Chains A and B, each alone.
Chain A
Amino acid sequence: MTAVDVLVIGGGPAGLESAYSLANNGYDVAVLEKEKNICGHLNQAHSLFPNFQNASEVRSAMIDKMTHPKISIHNDTEAIRIKRDIDKWGVETGSGKEFMAPALLLATGFKSFDPKYKEELGYGIYDNVITTTQFEAMCQKGSIVSPHGQKVKRIAFLNCVGSRDEKVGNHYCSRVCCINAVKQSIEAKKVLPEADIYCFYMDIRMAGQFYEELYRKSQEVYNVNYIRGRISEVSPTIDKRLHVKCEDTLSQTPMKITFDILVLMTGIEASLGTVALGQQLNISGEYNFAKSLSLHMADNYSSHKGLFLAGTCKRPLTLPEAVADARSAAGEIKNYLKTLKQ
């Protein structure tokens, strides 16, 4: 049994940032991370939008912060059961360990939509249909190649895969994939200046600082083609490239283009941990994201005393938003712990 001041479930950017902030305020914090490594989805990023900062810089800064003496990191530790005593939260983990603290922070984050549920896009059937995460890994390596060894002449990005799609049950916008597609199409152009890049969208949503500028730049400087229309069907060509069918809804023309790689901009869904713990704690809201007490007034609070929420376990957020939310959660926890002492 480990007793601390604050227990953080989830060692992604949000969990780590709040842990650091709380530790700086003198609290003992334990971070429970189910994976081998901390930093969550950031581990899969090569560069960050909108300024192309190297993700590894951000990662090392985060990992540095975790050397704080008041922080203990527990990898490979999945929170399975949460118990509540008076003013105390207890957590049992999959490996049988137990933790206890007066305050508990849920930072269980998101998972990417599994594109196998949209079979028409051919993910898992044609190996040159990949996800945005796999494409990021290619960028990391600096080589964008087709699995069949052909020279990559044309790449398609498809937005809103698993988002804004009533068929799969997700009506909401994941908010980050539009700008991420802009970023990735520029990355693609940087590696393969000769390649044609197409981006298929329903709406281009550029609501962040510098987003619109980047979108413009992608067209003016990098010649990325934006086509308003969803891809309806993907089929293989004889030489194992991809035939993509869609309609350009602006000019109302049906089109069929051949691509070497199709990148699916998969949306954000509540992670398995968010779903499981949210249901256990009875705080599951829309689409199984964790529900805060009040969006405008108590967004880091849950309906339980001493249980706080931070980051993308609540809804799709960009990295800076998630980190800022984590700091705000730390502030609320600090206040809460003070009132407990009195």
Chain B
Amino acid sequence: MKFHPFVIPFIAGVVFLLILIVFRLKQWLKGLDRKQHFFVKQNFLSLKTLYAIVEVFRESLLHFKIYRKNPVLGYMHMSLAFGWFMLIVFGKVKSVLYAGSFFEPMWLSIFFNFFVTSNEPYPYAAVMTFLMDFFLLIVLSGLLIAFVKRIYSRLVGMKKTTKHILIDRIALVALWGIFPLRLFAEASSSALYENGGFLTAGVAQMFSENFASIVELPLWWAYSLSLSIFFFTLPFSRYMHIPAEVVMIFLKKWGVKTNEHHSGFTNIQLHACAKCGICIDACQLDFAASQKNVQSAYFIGDARYNKLTEDVVNNCLMCGRCHEACPVGIELTMIRQQYRNKKEMPGKLYYNYVDLNGYHANVDIIYYAGCMTHLTPGIIISMKKIFQAAGMSYWFMDEEKGVCCGRPLRQQGFVQQAKDLVHKNLRMIHGANAKLLVTSCPICYVSFKEEYALQIPLMHHTEFIESLIDDKKISLESKAITAVYHDPCELGRNAQIYDAPRNVLKHLNLKTSKCEKNNGLCCGSSLSNAVLDLDHQIKVRDNALNVLLEKNPDVLVTACPMCKKAFTHGHKVAVMDIAEVVAKHLNEVKTKKQLSEKPEMITFAK
């Protein structure tokens, strides 16, 4: 049997790694909640598994998503992952061809060139040797980029790269050692046994036979050791992302979703983070407000190693830019939310003084402005004007009395209190028996959509206005005003409403901005960051304003009362909500429609 003591460290590493991965996998799966378990069981033996395999191939090996964001970075990841994978695959094929059996010792493929000299021919030897060298070259080229990236990250289009902890560094050094050591070990063997391909034999030219015989064994030892160190450190380092991402992809394809509770799926995602640092570049708190160490890469790392601080958990706008950018697809904002959620119920709700005792029956529409919209009465007045022009009967649910939709509380982790509010509002909404709920606030919109089991359709006023225009209930005068539309985080990334506002604003000269749609910026006033002080909120705001105003629009249009207020205080441009723009440019209605009579108030039985 082909054996040499230097393979022992390698074998030990592989065995250790496998045991640990199996152990971790069991833990993770045990940590899934009932619903998540259900999905795994349900879809385990379905076509979805096949899709997952394809996805693993695309993302864990070829890294398409990263490639699309940044080709150099994509190539780097692809060459390392895919290249190595191919080395393993063809290594195996090669040793099977040589041994004539599938059950050759597993180290044979890894240390093939030490054990098999050119005197022992096997089928397709030349092709195999070529392929092995070719993929080794690919891996080495990726390694070179990785090395340069460490020193000069802008080469791969990144401003920041993550800081690493000790175990990561050890693993990194080991990983970086593996392939050059393999190259030189194979080259020294090639110098002695002439079994190298174009690359290894080429390098072997530099080795005299004498020199090769001295360095050969130490090089193979070093190669085995670096593999071993890498395998031993992998489960505790960021490289755990390799197996974790694969697991995550399978679970996602099977339908497992991140919810607001911490679970085994959270742990899988924490480990699936490659610490690539792409999310750091996406975060305005980093590039506009110099808040360091709070970005998702750090947050996930801290959560994984159990050293999260309140500040890291809370100092986040929940804008979702990082989530959008993360090539692995980790649900970053939802996971942060899980860590914000209070375990016990701190204090009672303070809303008992509002007695919400009834609802209006028989209206088409319930209009819920939202607390923030009450601070921008211009939006409310405009909405009233639009309802009037379209001739629709509506009940303004929170006109005089009303409670919050609950989302700001929920984002601060007060889940129980938020649920109380949801309950209060739901009673009124469903009591009214209306056909549609319209809100002016994207925060409320997301809240209604995700946290209320609504039995009637829901629209943000951008969608509602769009439908009024489509149905020819209202029409707008064309104006020669240049405008830029700002996508509010909640309406954009959280609710995916991008086209409705743009369709509505067609009557203006609408210009695009550099950061649009899912790349939209945060206005800085996000209610979900309760720790960022005003000075820094202003930095985020001004950064966004600078980008939005690059084309010098006459008016900046948004669709969120918070964004409107924030940008207005920037004193740089006229800021209007989309409802205000529409109300201002409404074409005169020819036949004044009669509003249905104001319906009667119905009181809940005590």
Chain B residue at minimum C-beta to C-beta distance from A252: B350
Chain B contacts with A in 392-409, Cβ cutoff 8 A: 399-400
Would A120 and B375 be within 8 Å (CB), given that A166-B534, A167-B569 are in contact?
A: yes
| A120 in complex: contacting residue of B376, B381, B400, B569, CB < 8 Å | B376
Q: Is the CB of A119 within 8 A of B377?
A: yes
Please give, as numbers and ranges, the residues of chain A lying within 8 Å of B375 by CB-CB distance: 119-120, 232-233
Q: Is the CB of A167 within 8 A of B568?
A: no
What are the interface flags for A138-174 relative to B under an 8 Å C-beta threshold, 1 for contact and 0 otherwise?
0000000000000000000000000000111100000
B565 at the A interface (CB under 8 A): yes
Q: Is the CB of A234 within 8 A of B377?
A: yes
Please give, as numbers and ranges, the residues of chain B lying within 8 Å of A166 by CB-CB distance: 534
B353 at the A interface (CB under 8 A): yes
Chain B contacts with A in 564-579, Cβ cutoff 8 A: 564-565, 568-569
Would A119 and B376 be within 8 Å (CB), given that A125-B381, A166-B534 are in contact?
A: yes
Distance (whole angstroms) from the CB of B348 to the closest CB of chain A: 14
Q: Is the CB of A235 within 8 A of B353?
A: no
What are the interface flags for B302-318 relative to A under an 8 Å C-beta threshold, 1 for contact and 0 otherwise?
00000000000000000
A240 at the B interface (CB under 8 A): no
Q: Is the CB of A117 within 8 A of B400?
A: no
Q: Is the CB of A119 within 8 A of B565?
A: yes
Q: Is the CB of B399 within 8 A of A235?
A: yes
B218 at the A interface (CB under 8 A): no
Chain A residue at minimum C-beta to C-beta distance from B533: A166
B252 at the A interface (CB under 8 A): no
A99 at the B interface (CB under 8 A): no
Please give, as numbers and ranges, the residues of chain B lying within 8 Å of A117 by CB-CB distance: 568-569
Count chain B CB atoms within 10 A of each CB in A119, A126, A256 and give the residue with the most: A119
Q: Is the CB of B534 within 8 A of A167?
A: yes
Rounded to whole angstroms, the CA-CA distance of A253 and B352 in the bound complex is 12
Chain B contacts with A in 362-406, Cβ cutoff 8 A: 374-378, 380-381, 399-400
Q: Is the CB of A125 within 8 A of B377?
A: yes
Distance (whole angstroms) from the CB of A170 to the closest CB of chain B: 11
A59 at the B interface (CB under 8 A): no
Rounded to whole angstroms, the CA-CA distance of A234 and B378 in the bound complex is 11
A243 at the B interface (CB under 8 A): yes
Please give, as numbers and ranges, the residues of chain A lying within 8 Å of B565 by CB-CB distance: 119
Chain B residue at minimum C-beta to C-beta distance from A116: B568
Rounded to whole angstroms, the CA-CA distance of A216 and B565 in the bound complex is 38
| Binding site secondary structure of chain A | mixed
Rounded to whole angstroms, the CA-CA distance of A169 and B399 in the bound complex is 30
| A122 in complex: contacting residue of B377, B400, B569, CB < 8 Å | B377
Rounded to whole angstroms, the CA-CA distance of A253 and B569 in the bound complex is 30
Please give, as numbers and ranges, the residues of chain B lying within 8 Å of A168 by CB-CB distance: 569
Chain B contacts with A in 520-574, Cβ cutoff 8 A: 534, 564-565, 568-569
Please give, as numbers and ranges, the residues of chain B lying within 8 Å of A243 by CB-CB distance: 400
Rounded to whole angstroms, the CA-CA distance of A40 and B544 in the bound complex is 39
Rounded to whole angstroms, the CA-CA distance of A167 and B534 in the bound complex is 7
Q: Is the CB of A235 within 8 A of B377?
A: yes
Q: Is the CB of B377 within 8 A of A120?
A: yes
Chain B contacts with A in 83-120, Cβ cutoff 8 A: none
Please give, as numbers and ranges, the residues of chain A lying within 8 Å of B374 by CB-CB distance: 120, 233, 235
Rounded to whole angstroms, the CA-CA distance of A120 and B375 in the bound complex is 4
Rounded to whole angstroms, the CA-CA distance of A256 and B534 in the bound complex is 28
Count chain A CB atoms within 10 A of each CB in B375, B377, B400, B569 and give the residue with the most: B377
Q: Is the CB of B568 within 8 A of A119?
A: yes
Please give, as numbers and ranges, the residues of chain A lying within 8 Å of B400 by CB-CB distance: 235, 243, 256
What are the interface flags for A211-237 relative to B under an 8 Å C-beta threshold, 1 for contact and 0 otherwise?
000000000000000000000111100
Distance (whole angstroms) from the CB of A242 to the closest CB of chain B: 11
Rounded to whole angstroms, the CA-CA distance of A264 and B377 in the bound complex is 16
Chain B residue at minimum C-beta to C-beta distance from A256: B400
Rounded to whole angstroms, the CA-CA distance of A120 and B568 in the bound complex is 12
Chain A residue at minimum C-beta to C-beta distance from B401: A256
Rounded to whole angstroms, the CA-CA distance of A168 and B538 in the bound complex is 11
Chain A contacts with B in 78-134, Cβ cutoff 8 A: 117, 119-120, 122, 125-126
Would A119 and B569 be within 8 Å (CB), given that A166-B534, A235-B399, A243-B400 are in contact?
A: no
Rounded to whole angstroms, the CA-CA distance of A126 and B377 in the bound complex is 9
Distance (whole angstroms) from the CB of A269 to the closest CB of chain B: 12
Chain A residue at minimum C-beta to C-beta distance from B565: A119
Rounded to whole angstroms, the CA-CA distance of A126 and B384 in the bound complex is 14
Distance (whole angstroms) from the CB of A119 to the closest CB of chain B: 5
Please give, as numbers and ranges, the residues of chain B lying within 8 Å of A126 by CB-CB distance: 377
Chain B residue at minimum C-beta to C-beta distance from A125: B377
Please give, as numbers and ranges, the residues of chain B lying within 8 Å of A169 by CB-CB distance: 569
Rounded to whole angstroms, the CA-CA distance of A217 and B21 in the bound complex is 80
Rounded to whole angstroms, the CA-CA distance of A166 and B537 in the bound complex is 12
Please give, as numbers and ranges, the residues of chain B lying within 8 Å of A234 by CB-CB distance: 377
Rounded to whole angstroms, the CA-CA distance of A125 and B382 in the bound complex is 11
Chain B residue at minimum C-beta to C-beta distance from A245: B374
Rounded to whole angstroms, the CA-CA distance of A232 and B377 in the bound complex is 12
Rounded to whole angstroms, the CA-CA distance of A325 and B381 in the bound complex is 46
Rounded to whole angstroms, the CA-CA distance of A253 and B534 in the bound complex is 27
Chain A residue at minimum C-beta to C-beta distance from B525: A167
Rounded to whole angstroms, the CA-CA distance of A10 and B374 in the bound complex is 41
Rounded to whole angstroms, the CA-CA distance of A167 and B533 in the bound complex is 11
Distance (whole angstroms) from the CB of B570 to the closest CB of chain A: 10
Chain A residue at minimum C-beta to C-beta distance from B354: A254
Please give, as numbers and ranges, the residues of chain A lying within 8 Å of B534 by CB-CB distance: 166-167
Distance (whole angstroms) from the CB of B181 to the closest CB of chain A: 59
Chain B residue at minimum C-beta to C-beta distance from A253: B353
Chain B contacts with A in 167-198, Cβ cutoff 8 A: none
Q: Is the CB of B378 within 8 A of A119?
A: yes
Please give, as numbers and ranges, the residues of chain B lying within 8 Å of A232 by CB-CB distance: 375
Rounded to whole angstroms, the CA-CA distance of A243 and B401 in the bound complex is 11
Rounded to whole angstroms, the CA-CA distance of A217 and B129 in the bound complex is 102
Q: Is the CB of A254 within 8 A of B353?
A: yes
Please give, as numbers and ranges, the residues of chain A lying within 8 Å of B399 by CB-CB distance: 235
Chain B residue at minimum C-beta to C-beta distance from A129: B377
Please give, as numbers and ranges, the residues of chain B lying within 8 Å of A256 by CB-CB distance: 400
Please give, as numbers and ranges, the residues of chain B lying within 8 Å of A233 by CB-CB distance: 374-375
Chain B residue at minimum C-beta to C-beta distance from A122: B377
Q: Is the CB of A125 within 8 A of B568?
A: no
Please give, as numbers and ranges, the residues of chain B lying within 8 Å of A120 by CB-CB distance: 374-377
Rounded to whole angstroms, the CA-CA distance of A325 and B353 in the bound complex is 52
Chain A residue at minimum C-beta to C-beta distance from B538: A169
Rounded to whole angstroms, the CA-CA distance of A235 and B377 in the bound complex is 7
Please give, as numbers and ranges, the residues of chain A lying within 8 Å of B564 by CB-CB distance: 119
Rounded to whole angstroms, the CA-CA distance of A134 and B138 in the bound complex is 77
Rounded to whole angstroms, the CA-CA distance of A233 and B565 in the bound complex is 14
Distance (whole angstroms) from the CB of B329 to the closest CB of chain A: 37
Distance (whole angstroms) from the CB of B471 to the closest CB of chain A: 29
What are the interface flags for A248-272 relative to B under an 8 Å C-beta threshold, 1 for contact and 0 otherwise?
0000011010000000000000000
Rounded to whole angstroms, the CA-CA distance of A234 and B374 in the bound complex is 8
Rounded to whole angstroms, the CA-CA distance of A243 and B374 in the bound complex is 12
Distance (whole angstroms) from the CB of A264 to the closest CB of chain B: 14
Rounded to whole angstroms, the CA-CA distance of A233 and B402 in the bound complex is 13
Please give, as numbers and ranges, the residues of chain A lying within 8 Å of B378 by CB-CB distance: 119, 125
Rounded to whole angstroms, the CA-CA distance of A251 and B353 in the bound complex is 14
Distance (whole angstroms) from the CB of A177 to the closest CB of chain B: 21
Rounded to whole angstroms, the CA-CA distance of A234 and B376 in the bound complex is 10
Please give, as numbers and ranges, the residues of chain A lying within 8 Å of B569 by CB-CB distance: 117, 167-169
Rounded to whole angstroms, the CA-CA distance of A256 and B402 in the bound complex is 13
Distance (whole angstroms) from the CB of A130 to the closest CB of chain B: 16
Rounded to whole angstroms, the CA-CA distance of A125 and B374 in the bound complex is 13
Complex A-B: 24 CB contacts under 8 Å = A117-B568, A117-B569, A119-B376, A119-B378, A119-B564, A119-B568, A120-B377, A125-B377, A125-B378, A166-B534, A167-B534, A167-B569, A168-B569, A169-B569, A232-B375, A233-B375, A235-B374, A235-B377, A235-B380, A235-B399, A235-B400, A243-B400, A253-B353, A254-B353
CB-CB nearest 3 A-B residue pairs? A120-B375, A119-B376, A233-B374
Given contact pairs A119-B564, A125-B378, A166-B534, enumerate 4 new A-B contacts (beta carbons under 8 Å): A125-B377, A167-B569, A168-B569, A254-B353
Residues of A within 8 A of B (CB): 117, 119-120, 122, 125-126, 166-169, 232-235, 243, 253-254, 256
